[in-house]
Each structure stands twice: as C-alpha cells, then as structure tokens.
Chain A
Amino acid sequence: MAGGLVVSDLAVHFPTERGVVRAVDGISFDVERGTRLGFVGESGSGKTTTALAIMRMIKAPGRIVAGSIRLDDADLVQMSDAEVRAIRLRRIAYIPQGAMNSLNPVLPIGRQIADGVIDHLGPQRDADLKALVAESLDRVGLAPTVAAMFPHELSGGMKQRVCIAIGIVLKPDVIVADEPTSALDVITQRRVMDTLGRVQEAIGASLILIGHDMGLMAQFVDELVVMKDGRIVERGAIRGVFQAPEHAYTKMLISSVPDITEGRSFLGTIPTPAEPKPATGAAPSPLVAFRNVSKVYGRDFFGRGGVHALRPLSFELDAGRSAIVSVVGQSGSGKTTLANILLGITRPTTGDVRFEGKSVAGLRGTAALAFRRGVQAIFQDPYGAFNPFYKVDHTLALPLRRFGIATSRRDIYVCMEHACDAVGLDPHLILGRYTHELSGGQRQRLQVARALMLNPKLIVADEPVSMVDASLRATILKSLYDLKARHGISIAYITHDLATAYHVSDYVIVLHHGHVAEAGTPRDVIGNPQHPYTQLLIDSIPWPDPDRHWGSRQSVEDDQRRLEEIAASHQTIVRSRIPGFDLDTAA
C-alpha cells in the first residue's frame, strides 16, 4: 500500500508540574491511499496532538515516547530532523486551523506558495514556479490573479483555500487538516470542504480530518476514529458508526448534535413554560423597543460612506410575556452589533432604543442603573468574562453591590450560593476559586448564574455555546431555556447555529448584511424556509447523517452566485408573528 500511513502504539507525553499528561496514550490506526479518515473528540482528547505527532511537530517538553508512524517503509518517529523536514509538505502536508494567522501578512500569496516548492525542489525557473502556483490555485478554485494579492485582500474562506493550495502544491501523499473550517460560517465551510475534498481526490492523497463536528464528519469522511482522553474509544466506517455507535461516548457525541426534525428535542425533556404573567397596570410600555435603529461604521467627517453593520430596524418586545428571540446570520451579518446596541455598549447611528418607554441614550442616575440591571448579558467566551486577577466571587459580587441587591458580606454570599444552586453548580466547589480552576462548562453556567442573580428582564446571549464542547451545548442551552420557562426572562439569542436556534427559540430573525432576510417562528423559518438566503444557510448545515446529502458540486458553485444576488435584493419575508414580539417591517 504505497502512500499509506500506518500508526501503531503511538504515545505522546507532556511532563508538567503535576506529573506526566498522557496526551496520546498508545493509539494505532492506518489510512489507505485515497481515503479520508476523521478524528473526533472534545478539547483535550488528544486529536490535535496526534495530528502534530504525524507531522513531528510536538513542542518540547512534550515528546513521542513510544510507537511508530510509518509512511511506506520509513518510520517518521525514528527520522532525524533533517529527514523529517524533507518529508513535510512534500509527502505529508498540514492544513492549519486558523488560516487568518497562518499566512504571512507582508508577502504576496504566490510567494508563500512558491516558498515550499523552492525549499524542497531547489531553485526553479520563474515561469515554472508561476505555472505551479497557478495550477495549485486553480485546484482550490481561485483565479491565478490571487497569486499577486496579499492576505488582507482575501476573505476568510479564500485564505483557508490558499492554505490548502500551499499544502497541496507538491501533491503530498497525506494531507492532515486540523479543524480547517472551525472559524468559518456554514456557507463558507461547505465551500472550503468541497474544495478540500475535490483536491484530495484529484491528487489521490489520503486525508486525515481533525474536528469536533459530528455533522461535518458524517458528510465528509469514509472512516471515523473517536478519541477520548488520549485513547481511541471507537473506530469504524462512517455509516456503521452513525447507525450503530458502540461506545457510550460516541452515542453522546452523536446525540449532542441538534437535528431539525419535529418531535425529537435535543434538549431532552423541557419544562412546560410558565403561564405568562398577567399584565399588571394599564397598558405597560414595551420592555424594549427599537425605532429605525441602524449602525454605520467608518463614516467620514461629513457622514458619508461607511459600512452598514445594521440597516434600520424596528421592533417591540412586550414586557408581559417572556420569549426567546433568536438572531441568526453569518459573521458580518450585524448580529453582534445588534446585541451590543441592545446592551447599550454601542450607540446606534440613527434611531432610538427605548427601555420601558424611556430612551436609553438619555438615561441618567437611577434610571440608567435600572436599565443596566434589567438588560444583562451572557458572553461568548466564558473564560474572558471573568477577571483573571480575582476569584470568581468578585464577578458575582460586583453587580450585587452596584445594584444594591445585597450589601453585607453575608447577604452577598447567600445570593451567590442561591445563584449557583439555580444553575446546578455546587457553590462549595465554585465560590472562592479562580477562573482557570473551573472547566469551560462551569464557567459558562456561572455566567448564566450571574445574570440570573440580578433578576433581569432581558438577557442578551451572544453565541453562548460556540466555544464549549458539543456535550455541554445542550446543558447550557437548557439552562437558558429554564431562564425563560421558570423565571420569565426574555432572551435575545444571538447565534450562527440555526439548529440550536430551532430548538430554543420562539421567534427567529435571519440577518444578512445587516438586513432582515426572514423572520417568523422557528418551525416556519428554519423548518420550511422561503427566503433564498435562509434556504442556503440550512442547505449548508452538515447533517449528522451520512445518508442525507450535503448538496452537489454544482450547487456549491451556484450558491456563491446566488449569495451575491441576495445581498443586492434587500428582500424581507415575514412568515409569522407571535404575541409579545412585534417586528415592524414598514420602515
């Protein structure tokens, strides 16, 4: 089996202060030429370490302590550094995770592709190099003119495809791709994966795809390896693994991917929503109202030009009923701008945001404090949300003191304990510790606890699950759902993930280039999309089902063209309305 890779009993250890971490603990597998092997597992499972070991790029003090990595008859583990250098790129290529940071910002793309060629084949004639670069770019679907461009002139998806072009220029036998699309949205992801698959077939290389997305694996690889704590827990043909997963961990990974089908909720049993609180008092003003709110960045002194992050938007969210409103869209669709305007962190360029009938821009003193308390947030990065200098208590106690909820040390502590209990955390294990001592899931639930403690009226959750492992996603979304169902808090759920939006929300707004493309109940908008943009988004989701097709080659090409047409059309389709949330499309 020429060009095949055989790994046997590979072990990689990292000595630390606390003892040896067995990042990879005796794993064996092989990839035949021309096939695709997927590695899944959560952060810390050893999948990236395995990829780096194949490239012989383990950083000291970590090292390969046992096993062999055989490419044909040569053992990569036994090779000298110089020998490995000759193998890299030429026979084994690596496609890195963050294409944004992997390209040299001061060199044109062509130079960066040619670099490796010259390194391995020696000096080349200019014409030959140019032809090679053009061929490589052509394989990944980029025009030859890209060779003269610099990284900042390219979009994220194009940069990732350039990284693929660099990797395949010497037609390697093995391509190792480490989460090549983790920073991209679904539409771009489908394009990049399509490109990668096509190139791999064209040059006949074998491919190792590292990832955590079971859906992507189902759509892309032939064989799947599931890793946990440095070991392989399950291995098999992709169809078999999905139809009859053997290991409990594999089952959990598969079931943690939300599916858009009626009846089965990946949140498990969810409590029935509490009856809407009867409206007290005479006709209360809406909790939050947007009137023609828009945001333009980078305008010049006279208010000309600039980028429209958010086109004029008007809506009213009632105070009496609680609802989860999801705002979905690709990166750059304006959803985070919308979140920051809601939180009062960003000031809108035009229009007026009203909180309980009063304009937010004019709030002072106690009214401003009431707004701060009433609109809380759960941020994307649970690690960054806690000040590393203090114990987590500081972050929890600060708002209690500022909003005058509790003043004495004892009261504050009681409040914090209740908050931890409410999200299923043991206060004795959490309070008095530093952020880095908590796991990602604990941190994210602590953010929920912090918001809940203040008894807010609206919580803005900006991608609350995009940085946590799949197994935790359901748990955190369930705590979000609890906020609405049990505590009657409305939630603005900002996400790029339509599947989770389908399960948790009462209303969905699809944003595209700052413009509302489609809005309505999740069953209408996501279950049966009418707007071409929403359809495209949903078609691009990789389903965790090998039999459900991800779309043909041709459609991927067409989609790009369609996307440009959609951006120009500014069409809004409102599918349905729900009581409590009123989107005004007249403006």
Chain B
Amino acid sequence: MGISRRKPPLSVWESMDRRDESGMVNDRAAEWVARIDAAPLDAAAQAELDQWLASDDRHRGAFLRASAAWHLCDQATALGGHLRDAAHAGSPAFVTRSVVEAQDAPGDVPEAGRPHALSRRGMLWGGGALAASLLAAAGLGFWKGGGEQVETALGEIRRVPFPDGSMASINTATRLKIDFAADVRMVELDRGEAWFKVAKNKNRPFIVAAGEARVRAVGTAFSVQRLDSGADVQVTEGVVEIWATPRTADRILVKAGERAFIRYDAGPQAPVRDAAGIARKLAWRDGALKFEGTTLQEAAAEFNRYNGMKIEVDPALAQERIVGRFRTDEPDAFARSASAMLDARFEMSDKRILIAKN
C-alpha cells in the first residue's frame, strides 16, 4: 500500500514551499473531515478523496490525525454532560432507542490468535453525541453512533474499566455499546456476554439492555448473556431488577447467588438459586471453563464460543457427562482429557477436532 515519494534535495526556497505544502496538507485533511461530517460523500467526492489519500503517505497520515482530533472534540465536549430528550429522561421507555446493528453471520467474527486474557483497555468516556469518521478500506465510511462501542474477537476476554468506577469483564465474540449520561448509565449488549461490577450510585442507575430484556442495578455485580430467545442473568453480588420492554411494570428482583432468564416475548422468568453453578459458569473471567456433570455436547458448544477450531462430538457420545476445569483457549487439551475420560478417541484437522467413539 505504500506510495513512495521521490524527493530531490531541497534548496532554501523549495524547503520553504515544502513547509507551506505540509501545512496545507493538514488543512486539506481538516477540510475533508468537515466535509465528511456534513454528509456522506457522493461517488465523485469519494473518488477524489481516495485519489488524494492514495497519492501520498503524508495525506493518509494527516487524514488520520485530523479524524482523531475531531473525535477528541467529542470526548472533550462530553465532559459537559449528555443532553437527552427531556421527555424521556428517567423512564424505562427511553431505553428502547433503536440501535439497528446488522447481526453478523457467525463466520464474521474476527478470531484472536490467543485470547487477550484480562488485558486492560483504555478508559471509556461517557456521554455526548459521538460522530466518528471511519477509515474504510476503499475510501471513507461514515459512522454516527450514540456511544462508545466495545467489541471482542473470538476467544478474547477483556476487562474494561468505566469512568464511574464500574468495570466489565467482556467475554468472547461480544459487542456492546456504552452510553453514560448524567442521569443514567446505559449499556447495550448487541451480542455475547459480559459480567459487570457496578459502582454504587442510586441517583444514576446502571441499566443493561439486551434486545427487549432489561437489567437494572444500583450497586451490584452480575452477568448478562444475550441468547436467541432471551437474556440470561446471573447475580454474584447485590440485587438487580429485571424486566422486558414494553411491559415495564412486570419486574422481578434477582439476588446474589440466583440466576434468571428474561424472555424477549414473555418477560422475566422466576429466579433459580444456583450459587455454585453461577461461579462455575463465570469461570471464563479467569480464562477457564468448568464443567461439573455437563454433557459432552454442551461442553463442546461452550468451547466453540471461544475458538475457531471447532469441536465436533460423535452423537453416540453427546450425552456423556464430564467434569473438569479447562482453559478457554485450549480446545485440544479438552478433547484429549475428555477422550481419556470417556475412553474415546479424538482427531484434529485444520479446522476441527472430532471426538468419536473408539
């Protein structure tokens, strides 16, 4: 992709021109960012931009710099707080802003080589209407979002601190959007699973939205996993309130050691006590998967959430139960252990691991 610039040696006047020219490049980049911010580029403008970017390394650099500076203004002005439609502030109904995000096909999730276990990401800043300019492959995309988006790759587990002192452990192949405002702290879970430890603030409830499901916390720790028919909530500390829009009055409390399922259509189901099960199911936060009598099929499905190398299980073995603790990023070790436990065999190829009857 690099375009080499041939530069002859410079005379004094030429070097002065060059200084102007370099300054002009920065100005031009700012003008492009402003133009893109105004409206999506038409084909002719896009071609013009592509050509400008392709013609010189410095143009590409200046463009990234100007885009980042524009983005920095978002962060800076956000310090003043987020202005929301006053009519909706505070009521659960406002949480149903439509965020239409295309659901990617399962194959689209980029895979991490190794999970970035518990790597620290920079601070997330809250509030403000953020408009970011995208540097798309062929030219320029344009993305207008309402908040800060976080996405993990396949197998990646990431810890993210929030500016209010809360933090989240974000599991494999998860995408969520953080939108903190003065009166409410909102997280939209588009897909996947995350565990939240919420800093206490009764004046600023923390709400996770997963489809129609809602979980509200005041000072608690809990996980939410977004599934096809609903959201699974597990509480490790404190109490949360769950419901499904639009039936905002139909709420249930879920306490520490309990799990509950919120159906998108039918709403929250009764909580179930299962402290040990919850602790096991949250072992991913430490990069582990723990099974205590789980079927081989379920265990394999769990591994497949984290790895491109998929485990397939012979139907004859699918219902066998296994016990053990494994690393999320070692499906091969799991296959080896499981095979030994069940007196089965396993075969590894490029893309999959098969566990079959001997």
Q: Do A and B come from one complex?
A: no
